[in-house]
Amino acid sequence: MSVFIIAEAGVNHDGSIDNAYRLIDAAVEAGADAIKFQTFKAESLVLKNVDKANYQKQTTNESESQFEMIKRLELSVDAHKKLIKYCNEKNIIFLSSPFDHESIDLLNELQLQIFKIPSGEITNLPYLRHIGSLNKKVLLSTGMSNLQEVGDALTILINAGTKKEDITVLHANTMYPTPMEDVNLNAMLTIQRKFGVDVGYSDHTLGLEVDIAAVAIGASVIEKHFTLDKSMEGPDHKASLEPEELKAMVSAIRNIEKALGSSEKKPSPSESVNIDVVRKSIIASASIKKGEILSDNNVTAKRPGAGISPMKWDKVIGTVASKDYQMDDLI
């Protein structure tokens, strides 16, 4: 089964449906399986006097509150319907992370089959119970959480009605961008071993290498932020890939999938033609008369590998030559 690649548009549309359409086009061109937005009502998400995160202050108007920033990034119900229709036309899956109960209900009414739980909701029991009760496929992001919190969230989802096999847990770090020393990619495997679930990686690092490494060690889902232009004003643009970078990431992941192959060790079709060329055979290192004893003094191993393999050396040494051999003849 191929790695499920999510092009995370998030709020990089900056509240513009035209930008959202362009992001969908870019995700399709890159070869992503899905594009993901964010669904929220500012009034249900954050208090009006809450400050922004430091990285948000650096990338947006510092005097603007978190509420004001989030409010202008909302997508209307009508916008959701238009974007879903456009995604269907473009043959890419529409996803969105709900941040409140009203948004969960909206996405359910819009018949989304996969629900992505953002890292900030992993300790929100009523929220988790609500999504769990829908019995849909779930992607659970785990930024800022410890193993106990991941286990608690899984228990809530499963007890509410979601099948364990329908849950994929995404290792994540919520710093934008994430410093390499804080990625802790091995924790993804810890989650897999501890809970017996499918795992993936939601990435906020700069560049492509961590996503490729995650696939190489077993991620079944990769989520990566992307934007139309990193220089645009907004909270997440600078920690996102541009379209050509996203395309390169998807291509690299697909190549890694091919390269991983199977667990069986055997010659590949492409290298089988080299076996006779680069392996060696037992050959005469001197003229040998019929009836002469074959020994270390008159045989050796040289290319090509079309004759008797040197692995049968001990069976050949000490036997009697059945015919005459010239130097360099295959035995």
What pLDDT does 238 receive?
Answer: 83
Closest CA to 55 of 230, 199, 239: 239
CA atoms of 120 and 99, how far apart (whole Å): 9
Domains and CATH numbers, the chain: 4-260 (3.20.20.70), 269-316 (no CATH)
What pLDDT does 55 receive?
Answer: 57
**Per-residue DSSP letter, 231:** T
Q: Which amino acid is at 274?
A: N
Start-to-end Cα distance in the chain: 48
HSE-up (13 A, CA, CB side) for residue 162: 27
**CB–CB of 138/163 below 8 Å?**
no
Closest CA to 222 of 253, 196, 194, 193: 253
Structure tokens at 85: 């229709």
What pLDDT does 104 receive?
Answer: 98
What pLDDT does 62 receive?
Answer: 63
CA atoms of 261 and 247, how far apart (whole Å): 22
Closest CA to 188 of 137, 158, 228, 147: 147
Q: Which amino acid is at 108?
A: N
288 pairs with which residues across the strands? 325
* 10-residue averages of pLDDT along the chain (331 residues): 95 92 98 97 72 59 70 90 98 97 97 98 98 98 98 98 98 95 98 98 96 98 95 80 97 97 94 96 98 98 97 98 98 97
What pLDDT does 72 receive?
Answer: 78
Query: Could you tell me the pTM of the whole model?
Result: 0.87
